[in-house]
Amino acid sequence: MKTKIYIAKKIPSHVEEYIGKYCDYEKYEGEDAAGYEELLSKLHDKEGVMLSGTKVDKNLLECAPLLKVVSNISVGYNNFDIGAMKEKGVMGTNTPGVLNDTVADLIFALILSAARKIVEMDSYVREGKWISTDAEKMFGKDVHHSTLGIIGMGRIGQDVAKRARFGFDMDVLYYNRKRKAEVEEKLGVKYADLNTLLRQSDFVLVMTSLTDETYHMIDEEQFNLMKRDAIFINVSRGATVNEKALIKALEEKKISGAGLDVYEKEPIDMDNPLIKMPNVVLTPHIGSATKKTRNDMAMLAAQNLVKALCGEIPPNIVPELKA
């Protein structure tokens, strides 16, 4: 008899077919993803669930007495109540690796767009303001041969560093909990403490996971250390940065611009001051949003789920839930 699972988000048909070989499944029929209340009503007889970002807490687990595995279709898993999952013996998996290059591409799109004022200049042309080609208002900031500081040298950070070093001849500094000598040797990057990185970098990229330790790790004190012409990029999690401090730094011209894919509140409120700042490039949390990458993430999540329910050890158990 096949195990019962619930698919809480629309997935590609070939991934659904793969799951159907091993599991009896029920799926959410909406276009986006099942909400928390929907999950509460669906998991009472399910041993597995595939979802993306929906909160998995003690209350949900109480309503799912048979649940063995939660497969997140994402790299992040701050939606997991790790303590509650440990207590209930529920496995949690995620989908690292498959999205690294795609996210690194977006990061460089933000760096280039913010540095060369692409969004601002697009409006400049469309609004008929293009009169002179040498006005200083058009001047941007060179990316090539500048210094990029990466906070969080994980797999995505390394792919960004590779693009920076070998594509744009940039100097790369990095700050990480643990120094990575092999990465330094392979990519020619240099380790720096956080304050040194902030002072010396032309572009500052936050690419760290969200934990109690990294919550608001970039605050007013950190922005005060940055160069006045520095550009700040965040593609990690919104709460790694104190957004009020970022807005203040931009308003007071302590930094020159920003490129953001993540925010403290998502979707962003339309009265957020960032919306009206022409020197800030905003994207709606689309780091992994290409068709191929999202399909690959869904398949990896499905494979994690199936392996766990078949009694195998899936390759991507989140670290805090490993035995």
Q: What is the pLDDT of residues 216-250, one digit of tens each?
A: 999 999 999 999 999 999 999 999 999 999 999 99
Q: Could you tell me which of 246, 256, 288, 216 has the C-alpha nearest to residue 53? A: 288
Q: Could you tell me which of 252, 196, 257, 189 has the C-alpha nearest to residue 222? A: 196
Helix axes 155-168, 100-115, angle to 10 degrees: 50
Residue 277 in this model has a pLDDT that exceeds 90: yes
Residue 137 in this model has a pLDDT that exceeds 90: no
Q: What percent of the chain clears pLDDT 90, i.e. is strictly above it?
A: 92
CA distance 101 to 234: 16
Report pLDDT digits (tens) over 72-86.
999 989 899 999 999
Averaged pLDDT score across all residues of the chain: 96
Q: What are the Cα distances from residue 241, in Å, to 89, 103, 233?
A: 33, 19, 10
The model's pTM is: 0.92
Among this protein's residues, is 237 annotated catalytic? yes
Helix axes 291-309, 13-20, angle to 10 degrees: 10
Q: Active-site residue among 47, 120, 237, 294?
A: 237
Residue 314 in this model has a pLDDT that exceeds 80: yes
Q: Could you tell me which of 252, 210, 208, 260 has the C-alpha nearest to residue 231? A: 260
Q: Active-site residue among 285, 294, 312, 320?
A: 285
For residue 1, the model assigns a pLDDT of 77
In this prediction, residue 135 has a pLDDT band, given cuts at 50, 70 and 90, of confident
Residue 8 in this model has a pLDDT that exceeds 90: yes
For residue 38, the model assigns a pLDDT of 94
Residue 47 and residue 89 in contact, taking contact as beta carbons nearer than 8 Å:
no
Among this protein's residues, is 285 annotated catalytic? yes
Among this protein's residues, is 145 annotated catalytic? no
Q: Active-site residue among 266, 294, 312, 320?
A: 266
